[in-house]
């Protein structure tokens, strides 16, 4: 077991543990902080896959901007001390069972795939490759994907106008 496998399993455990802690935390601020931890460990996976641009963008956009927005809204509504009112245990049990059945089906699909491709396993190359570097991504983004990139700016403009219109006091 090389160093890559050890780092991979540690990052997997960290990702899943912090994702579960997002659900079970009572305080919404703790949920936000655990979600930031999840994003950092997913960025670790990106760095291991040599997708450095996406790793940095994930930290800046998700852990930086979006999570600050969440924290700002939680502080604005003063929700950081209040817990949820009453708990319907049967609804929670039903949610966990249906989510667990979804997980069961998907994992069994992955296991079947893994057994079928045992002779020629598909490998996700770690620590190699140049497609995740900012130079190559930028070249493709501004030539082949120039139109979707410009449409993104229109999307942001409409989202900005929508947020201002919805949030305005009438």
Partner 1 sequence: MPIQYYIALAVTLFSIGVVGVLIRRNAIIVFMCIELMLNAANLLLVAFSKTHPATAAAPMAGIDGQLFVFFVMVVAAAEVSVGLAIIVMLYRNTHSVDVDFLNRLKN
**Between residue 12 and residue 41, which ones bind partner 1 under the rule CB under 8 A?**
12, 15-16, 19-20, 22-23, 28, 31-32, 35, 38-39
Interaction between residue 63 and partner 1 (CB under 8 A): no
Instruction: Give which of 123, 124, 125, 143 is closest to 135, Cα–Cα.
Output: 143
SS3 168: coil
Of residues 136-165, which lie at the interface with partner 1 (CB under 8 A)?
136-137, 140-141, 145, 148, 152, 155-156, 158-160, 162-164
Interaction between residue 64 and partner 1 (CB under 8 A): no
Instruction: Give which of 89, 93, 69, 71 is closest to 80, Cα–Cα.
Output: 71
Interaction between residue 84 and partner 1 (CB under 8 A): yes
Of residues 87-106, which lie at the interface with partner 1 (CB under 8 A)?
91-92, 94-96, 98-100, 102-103, 106
Whole-number Å distance between alpha carbons of 107 and 52: 29
Q: Considering only residues 3, 85, 119, 147, which one is a binding residue for partner 1 as defined by CB under 8 A?
A: 85
CA distances (Å), origin 137, targets 53, 55, 124, 143, 156: 8, 13, 19, 10, 21
């Amino acid at each position: 077991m090389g160093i890559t496998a050890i780092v991979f399993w540690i990052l997997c455990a960290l990702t899943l543990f912090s994702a579960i802690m997002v659900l079970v935390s009572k305080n919404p601020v703790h949920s936000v902080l655990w979600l930031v931890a999840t994003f950092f460990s997913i960025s670790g996976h990106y760095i291991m896959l040599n997708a450095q641009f996406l790793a940095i963008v994930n930290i800046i956009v998700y852990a930086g901007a979006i999570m600050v927005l969440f924290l700002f809204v939680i502080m604005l509504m003063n929700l950081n001390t209040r817990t949820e009112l009453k708990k319907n245990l049967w609804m929670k049990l039903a949610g966990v069972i249906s989510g667990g059945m979804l997980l069961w089906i998907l994992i069994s699909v992955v296991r079947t795939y893994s057994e079928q491709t045992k002779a020629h396993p598909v490998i996700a190359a770690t620590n190699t490759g140049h497609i995740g570097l900012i130079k190559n991504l930028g070249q493709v983004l501004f030539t082949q994907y120039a139109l979707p990139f410009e449409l993104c700016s229109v999307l942001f403009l409409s989202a900005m106008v929508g947020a201002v219109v919805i949030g305005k006091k009438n």
